[in-house]
Structure 1
Amino acid sequence: MAHIAYYRVSTLGQSITAQREALLKEVGQEGFLKEYQDEGVSGGVAAMSRPGFRQMSESIRAGDTLYVYAIDRLGRDAIDVQSTVGDLIKRSVTVYILGLGPIAKGVGELIVAVLAQVAKMEKDRINERAQDGRAAARDSMAKTGKTHRGKDRLGGRAHKVLPAELKGWRAANGKDGKPASISETAKHFDVSEATVKRYTSTSASA
């Protein structure tokens, strides 16, 4: 039944000292058997994608207690936190969050259930925003021929453009006897200007 600590700071210039000192007050003279940290790692990175956290997760054992400075150290969002805490509790690991106390089987599972609900709400909110965005794009496309973000097509990957198709479009959409510009062509086909130049070179073929 070991005390394990995990720290994370977003930039290399920050120090874990404050987190460590605060958590040491919770365990007293016994201290921590092992300490893990991720320095210069954004909170937007999923817990298991962080080297220090992953190493901790692989070594921690049933009966151990994991100490963290704040709940956001356990994931990039409510969904990730719920998954991380739920997994640790299933492995009979107690998660001690400064200010919240221990989260373990029993009452801790109730806390995880609340986190799960928050995670579901967040996931639903993300899906709702995505649906609203698609609806706005379709509406704008029907009215103006472009999405609300100014694109010429709705989401999804563009089809592969053939050199002959690209050159034909340039010729048909030019002005004053000149083909459409490189930038106009690139924007229309959603490709890079380098691709347009390569396709319109004398060596390019269909």
Structure 2
Amino acid sequence: MSRILYLRASTSDQSVEAQRHALGGTFDREFSDEGVSGATLAKDRPGFAALLSYVCEGDTVCLYALDRLGRDALDVQATVRQLMDKGVVLDVRGIGPVGRGAGEIVVAVLAQIADLERQRIKERCDAGREAAKEALKATGRTHRGKESLGRPMKANAQEVAAWRRENGKSISETMEHFGLSKATVARYWAAANEQVSA
């Protein structure tokens, strides 16, 4: 009868530390998925897959919030049912232990809310991207004043490629000269060569 902690943070700039701190207490085992989206099915996350093969009847899995299991309502409900079928108790902060019957209804409602929130986030992102494209086309800048969509360029691709060509330098030497990553130099080089051959 183990007390098990499961943690998940969606992006690499988030941390599971806040979840661990909020849950406090001592745990016999901990599983985590850092930098893994809630849209990824629970069984496809390495940390959660390891948890599923570890748990057995009588264990308690503790979560910071139900959406740590995921943001797809059907997947969350299936995951909760899978844990319950193994005889595992799910203890969610702010809700408490979730059991069969009423507990499953609560999980279904909360999972649906998490799913709706995921859809809202996607809609907001899509709307923002569309507004940025339209503004960029009309004014040369996005609605937030940026000169391009996505990450700003660290250097002028044409200048980097021209410097490398004129000086006969390798990608490594070009990286060092401009302070860029290997992938960035290679991408700039490929783009410049495509334009030359076009």
Name the amino acid aligned to 2:60.
L
Quick check: 1:137–1:148 contact (8 Å CA) kept in 2? yes
TM-score normalized by the length of structure 2: 0.52
TM-score normalized by the length of structure 1: 0.50
5 Å-filtered alignment, 1:1-206, equals 3-7=1-5, 10-11=16-17, 18-20=24-26, 35-38=28-31, 42=34, 49=45, 51=47, 53-61=48-56, 63-68=57-62, 70-72=63-65, 76=68, 79=71, 83-84=75-76, 86-91=78-83, 92=85, 93=87, 94-97=89-92, 99-148=94-143, 150-152=146-148, 192=184, 196=188, 206=197
Q: Which runs of 5+ in 2 are unaligned?
A: 8-15, 151-157, 163-182
The aligned residue for residue 10 of structure 2 is none
Name the amino acid aligned to 1:83.
D
Distance 2:101 2:131 in 1: 45
Distance 2:30 2:121 in 1: 30
SS, match of residue 147 in structure 1: coil
Identity over aligned pairs, percent: 24
Cα distance change, pair 45–147 in 1 and its aligned pair in 2 (3 A)? closer
Distance 2:129 2:190 in 1: 33
Cα distance change, pair 196–90 in 1 and its aligned pair in 2 (3 A)? closer
Greater Rg over alpha carbons, structure: 1
Distance 2:6 2:82 in 1: 23
Quick check: 1:7–1:19 contact (8 Å CA) kept in 2? no
Quick check: 1:78–1:118 contact (8 Å CA) kept in 2? no
Quick check: 2:23–2:93 contact (8 Å CA) kept in 1? no
**Does 191-200 or 117-126 show the bigger shift?**
191-200
Quick check: 1:66–1:95 contact (8 Å CA) kept in 2? yes
Q: Which runs of 5+ in 1 are unaligned?
A: 22-34, 156-165, 171-190
Displacement of 1:121 = 2.2
Displacement of 1:7 = 2.4
